[in-house]
Structures are given as structure tokens and as C-alpha cells.
Amino acid sequence: MTGSERGQTMAQVDTAETGQGCAGRGDTGSGTWRTPIGRAIRIVSRQGPWKRGPVLAALGLLLGLLMLLHARIPNRIGNLGSLVETFLPWFGLFIPVLLAGAVWRRSISAGVALLLPVTVWLHLFGGMLSDKSHPGSDLTVASHNVGADNPDPAGTARDVAASGADVLALEEITPQARGAYEKGLSKAYRYHTVLGTVGLWSKLPLSDTRPVDIETDYGPLAATKPADVKLVDNRALRATVATNRGPLAVYAAHLGSARVNPRGGFTTGSRDRNAQALGKAIAAERNQRVVLLGDLNGTMDDRAFTGITSQMRSAQAAAGDGFGFSWPATFPVARIDQILVRGVEPESSWVLPATGSDHLPVAAGISW
């Protein structure tokens, strides 16, 4: 067999093994382009950077519109609008994910689309990235949901007393733990009052103390508490603190619970009613200087608190450093423990170290 004949035979063997002839290879020189996947890869490879990643671009625009128009999301179905607003800052985490996808696809259109969510997020929360606190204040206030199932109320009392707050509000006080808090805080605070599950401790004289009717209803939260823990009804109070700059009206409140239910969605009925009633009580307050301390079971981005936020300022938003998330204590994802003011100036706001509760204590310095 001549060399030419041997070459022809080898070519025939190769063709039989691969199932591809030269005529079937197409213009690209590779038979893989004849498969559906191969054709799709060839089409994508020919697209320019502006045409790549249309899905990523659409997702970027939808993310921006979701944050921009969050107030338009209806609450008719499972309180979806309030649920989105509760975790609104966390939607910013989708931005780097989409950016990584745009870089991987080398898509200019997807990258440009991300300018919308970046701009909206910075407009809504950019101020939280800087420290807005100022040194010095006339009065330090603090609030802490101590937790009905707190295993160490005495230790929690010591921790919050060490904060140095002049006025301290505690929520979710059980009859069983009340004595421990009163004993543990007696040295640091000369004045105190407890009405139901909320209490106020002060280094300055208290007067005109009274319960605030916010249509109390422990609702779904009752099912999560130990059987031997009983909670009485009153969950809000109002008192006047006598300062050297004049009287200060202080409200301590623990609003109804908010729960995510697979069937009912974001259930907030009790909380929303409480918030509306509390807003009316504060609107009727004659003292122009008012501080609200408490576990409101919601963030101030939630539309349910419009009646309160329309007349009071959040100390954390005005003078905090960061987002100040307070719940849950092990890995805080939301700021539901609030300090709001009217007629006084917040100078600083911070989160205190964890105690035996599932909430973190919060504090703020205020000035006249």
C-alpha cells in the first residue's frame, strides 16, 4: 500500500469514528455548531456588550423600581407592602449579585441598569453609612425589651443599669421577673413605675404617670411563651420627667406582634391598631417635648407607623452610626426597638451589648 493510499484509509477511519465529515462541519470548522446548544453559543458570542444580559438588565430595573415605589406596593394581600418595607435595606444585597452577573456576561446594558437601584438605595439609606452623632447631650435615654422568657433578669438589670441612662424603659416585664428588675435597678434609679408589662426607671423625678390605652392584645405572641409565664394587659404608659430644662413627656410602649405566617402572610393587625392609637395619644400630648421609647415591633420605614413618624423623629436615623439593628439579638436584621423624639434634638444613638433577651437594648443622647 502506497503512502497516499494509507492516508486515504486513515481519513476514512477518522470520519467513521467521529460521525462527522468535512462537509458537515460548517463555516466554523467545528461540528459542535450543528447542535442546538452550539448554535445558541454562536449567537450569544456574536452579540455585542449592549445586547448581552437582557434578563440581568430587566432584573436590575425591577429592583430599582421595587425600592423606589415601595410605598405603592399594596397591603391587601398578606401585608406585602409592610413586609417589603420591614426588610427594605436588605434589598441592596441584590445589587452586587446582579453586578457580578453583569461582569460575568460582559453586559454593558446590565451594568447601566444597575445605576437605578444603586441611586435609589443610596437615596434611601446612604445616610446610614456615616456616623451622624455629636458629642455631649443633656439627657441619655434607653429602651430594652427584656424578654418574657429571659433566664437571667437580675443580670439584665445590671447590664442596663451600667449603660448610665438617665431614663430607662423596659418592656415585656413578667410578674415573676418584676421583683428582680426593681431590686437590680434600685441603686441606679431613685424613681420608677411599672404598669402592666412596661416600666419606666428614672434618675429624675417622675409625675403624672398613667397608662395609655393602645388596645392591648398580645395576640399570636402568647403562643410562643412558656405556659407558666402570664402577661397582664397594659403595654403602654406615659410619665413626665422633671429635668433642669423643663418637663419632658416620656412614653414607653410595647406594640402588638408582627408575624410571618405562610397562610396569612405578614400578620400585623394588632400592631397596626396599637400604632394608630399611640399616634393619636402623642398627637394629643400638650407637652411639646416628647420622647417615645419602646419595642414597636416594626421599622420606621413601615407605612403602619405614619401616624407616629409624621410627628416624631427617629433618633437612630437622625444621629446614629449605621442601621442600629436590634432584633434578633443573635443576628440583628431589623430595627424594631425605637427611640423617637419631638421638640428635643437627638445628638447620638447607639445599640447596647446583648443581655439575656432576644432583643438588644438601644440608647440615645438628646439635648434641648
Residue pLDDT, tens place only, 148-198: 999 999 999 999 999 999 999 999 999 999 999 999 999 999 999 999 999
Give the pLDDT confidence score for residue 232 in this predicted structure: 52
pLDDT at position 42 over 70: no
Strands 167-171 and 198-202: antiparallel
Output the pLDDT for position 16: 44
pLDDT tier at 263 (50, 70, 90 boundaries)? Answer: confident
CB atoms within 10 A of CB 294: 27
Distance CA 344, CA 80 (A): 34
Note the pTM of the prediction, 2 decimals.
0.82
- The pLDDT, as a whole number, for residue 58 is 97
The cell numbers describing 84, all together, are 417589603
Reading the block at residue 233, the C-alpha cell is 394587659
Q: Are 146 and 181 in contact (CB under 8 A)?
A: yes
